[in-house]
Structure 1
Amino acid sequence: MGSLTEDEVIVYSPVQPEGNSREENVGIFIDYDNVYWTLMNNHKHNPNSNESEKNIFEKLWNTYGRENVRTFKAYADFDKVDTNLTSLQKKRVQIRHVYSNGKDEDKRKNSSDIELSIDVIESTYRELNINRYVIVTADSDMIPLVSRLMYKGKIVDLYYLEDAVSDGKNNITTYANNFYNLYDFLGLSIIEYKAEEYVDAAIGIIYNWSLETRNQDFALGYKILINTLEKNLNVPTNTTKEIISILEKNNHILDEDKKTSKGTYKGKILNLESEKVKEVISEELSVK
């Protein structure tokens, strides 16, 4: 990665939050892997947005100020997240690449939260001047870390995702000095997606996919199905998975072993005996 000239580096003017003194030394640590996937899978929002007001890095710089921040680190498997690393470098973010096991998101294991916790605890011994820690997370596993920082007399500002940090028993916000909901911080409008409202459209998309000549030698595998529905319906990944679950539960789609020129692969096909499928196909044919 090449070095940047001074003109290329973004400089931020701080907007001081309540209780944040200019004499404070701030350390910012983002569990970017968890935050990224939670926002993308639930709300189709990239936290490194092109809109400054919705960009988590720019918002944090503007909140705490360049003259106060002593370290600013983001932890993720950057081979998987859709983020321009050069843009992060220009924002003066220290990138901590943490390898994941490479599986699909719902089965993938990532140790970004562990690496972050280790770095934070080590910094309390190496960088004694840091007295305010900013922890950004979508994981209730951060409770021990936040609690430890409090015991060490540090000020903890917690930025969290409300639908991801509570394990039903403990709420991580009770362990921090200050806490801020990322949805409010980034000014996100939360859209409530109802999977059942997309069932007819999903059946139509699958039907048209099966008719395309270029798809005749392919099986409609689960991953292809998710990508196809997500793209055409413009809904988040988790909503897409709910739609597929409804289709399966109601026997609108079935499993098949499809023979292709490259071998036999498992895929999904429409159940032509389903009354709902018959109805949707009839409507599709009527408009062709």
Structure 2
Amino acid sequence: MDKQQIAKQYESIQDEICVGLEALDGGATFQEELWQRDGGGGGRTRVIQQGNVIEKGGVNFSAVHGVLPEPVRKAFQVDETNFFATGVSIVIHPGNPFVPIIHMNIRYFELNDRVKWFGGGIDLSPHYIQTEDAAYFHGRLKNICDQFSPAFYPTFKAHADRYFYIKHRQETRGIGGIFYDRLTPEKAGVPWDAIVDFSCTLGRAFVPIYAELVNRNRHREFNEANKHWQYLRRGRYAEFNLVYDAGTKFGLETNGRIESILMSLPPQAEWVYDFKPEAGSAEAQTLSLLKQDIDWLNL
């Protein structure tokens, strides 16, 4: 596939995910806004709010091109000035504290016929970590990865554990998942077409994976204390996205659309000074599991 064909595939994946999420929610529908980027390209921002399950969610598609800003060239360690980038980015903030936050991003970046790569991943940020859900999530990701290479899951899981880490809190954002960047045949050990298929397969796995986790937990009862904890965890999520997230930085530095870039932020969050959960509580248990290198498949 060339870059335009990849972008068309990503557009289709955005459509499929939106249809699937509307059916899963059973109430709210997506609102779409088309936008153009100064400098080249544009995208489709789709937001769903105040649904039966989803309090706020976004499924964004973009295909942009133009002159690569100097800070990005330095970060990528390249000399070329013209770029093309396309991708789908998703963040879902549920209303029920026992349904996890989920994020996925699949993307393609090209400077020329020689310099091009795929990136992306999917990760889960439960407000309350449930080990059986974590095992299911990581098991599905391993099965997808193993279709393409036995090295993918352990490599990409380790990358996610390192990437989705809130250094100033010394805790992970959630239970991780898989994350990869600058994936090429030389780096992946598989042909180019297999990398394309892997990216699209991961994108199309989003709805069935999240639907299972939602349906396991969507009817669980919760109280004000659970909501308070949810807002605190959303605060941690916001901290990561604003301080460390590479996609946020890339969007801002390439003059992206600010509403789309900050779509990932939760609708409501809290920060409480020096909050410490009660010993032995479900909240304390969750904090104890926000660590790197946990083997969720054999916990």
Instruction: Tell me the TM-score normalised to structure 2 length.
Output: 0.26
Instruction: Tell me the TM-score normalised to structure 1 length.
Output: 0.27
Looking at secondary structure, tell me which structure has more strand per residue. 2
